[in-house]
Amino acid sequence: MSNSDSKSNTGSFSQTNDSPSGSQSPNEGGTENNHRVHRFVSNDFAVRVASVNATDVVAKMQQLQQTRPLPTVAVGRSMVGALLMASQLKEGQEVGVLVQGEGPLSRVYAHADFHGRVRGYVNVPQYEPASYSSVLSLQEAIGGGMLTVVRHQPFQRQPYQGTVPLVSGEIGDDIAFYLHQSQQIRSVTSLGVFLDTYGRVEAAGGVIVEVMPGVEDNIIDKIEENQKKASREISKMIREKKSPLELVQPYLDGIPFTEIPHPHYIEYSCPCSAERVKNALTILGLEELDDMIAKQEKSHIVCQMCGRPYELSIEDIQNVRNALYKSSLH
């Protein structure tokens, strides 16, 4: 089974301002640690780039949710896309990527924050196509539909949200289309998940190259030329343990650039806990809880945000029921 990465280049240019900020450090390779999002900016600030090796967090997602190959690739690419986009936000901000397809996978969701915390979820983790083609493509599994990107800012009541139609269903192209439609940013977005012959995650990660609005054509031409030359699949490069710098270098050939410090380790993280799950059970109401207790039904609950499974004992359910009963007396 081979893996096709999601690579894109869409959009055109217009004038809005969204220039990168932040201090600069000497250009360094970053081979010491592959588990951060590494950010780079061209020395004229026209192009910003991020790369990440997300193998561990995507493997963690697969382990929690026991996802089959196509759902793994779908959630994995979404997680990588969310991580890369979140790294370009500001301190404390978060980004959610929601793919709502008409195909059998239905909904794919990933959430990441500036600090590298990420989680992902798919409605149908066990989905298998009738037959696998030689290349894993998401197009049929996701089908047409919509991509929504939500950006949350602390202290802001309303998140910023943009929705675009899915242009390919391979996720990378769709994120690039969103960036262009919503933020006038033209980008090259390569997101990849490489599976071994058993369908397990062997490598995952990606690169996003964003050209700021209003940038002169010669830089754009250069990046497009580089993109054509850089035809290696990103997941294979990550599998070969290329450094974050080596991942982005092919795209930035001939463009001087600098790494921006971004010292946040990525980790699979969800705010769920056994306590929260128990609290969520109260929504069932006394009658249903009593019924579960009468039937001596243990409860298997899966977090809808990260796929983490929880098992609640009869005792747990009894406690939830008693607390609910008590509060109903007040």
Q: CB–CB of 187/211 below 8 Å?
A: yes
Q: How far apart are CA 124 and CA 67, in angstroms?
A: 8
Q: Does 112 bind Zn ion (CB under 5 A)?
A: no
Residue 161 C-beta: closest distance to Zn ion, Å: 22
Shortest Cβ 307–Zn ion spacing (Å): 7
Question: Binding Zn ion by CB under 5 A: which of 39, 308, 312, 321?
Answer: 308
Task: Mark 240-279 with x for binding to Zn ion (rule: CB under 5 A) and - for no binding.
Answer: ------------------------------x-x-------
Q: How far is the CB of 308 from Zn ion (least distance, A)?
A: 5
* C-alpha radius of gyration, the chain, whole number: 21
For Zn ion, the closer CB: 60 or 239: 60
Decide whether 117 or 308 has the Cβ nearer to Zn ion: 308
CB 303, min distance to Zn ion, A: 3
Residue 97 or 303 with smaller CB distance to Zn ion = 303
Selected binder of Zn ion within 306, 312, 317, 320 (CB under 5 A)? 306
- In the complex, what is the shortest distance from the CB of residue 270 to Zn ion, in angstroms, rounded to a whole number? 3
b/e 175-195 (16+ beta carbons within 10 angstroms → b) = bbbbbbbebbbbbbbbbbbbb
CB of 215 or CB of 305, closer to Zn ion:
305
CA distance 236 to 38: 18
- Least Cβ distance, residue 314 to Zn ion (angstroms): 23
Q: Is 305 in the site for Zn ion (CB under 5 A)?
A: yes
The C-alpha angle 98, 144, 88, rounded to 5 degrees, equals: 35
- Token pair of 247 as six digits: 């991942």
Q: How far apart are CA 204 and CA 11, in angstroms?
A: 26
Nearest one of 64, 39, 57, 59 to 49, comparing CA atoms: 39
Binding to Zn ion by residue 303, rule CB under 5 A? yes
> Applying CB under 5 A, does 111 fall inside the site for Zn ion?
no
Please give the angle made by the CA atoms of 107, 118 and 122, to the nearest 5 degrees: 20
By the criterion CB under 5 A, which residues form the site for Zn ion?
270, 272, 303, 305-306, 308
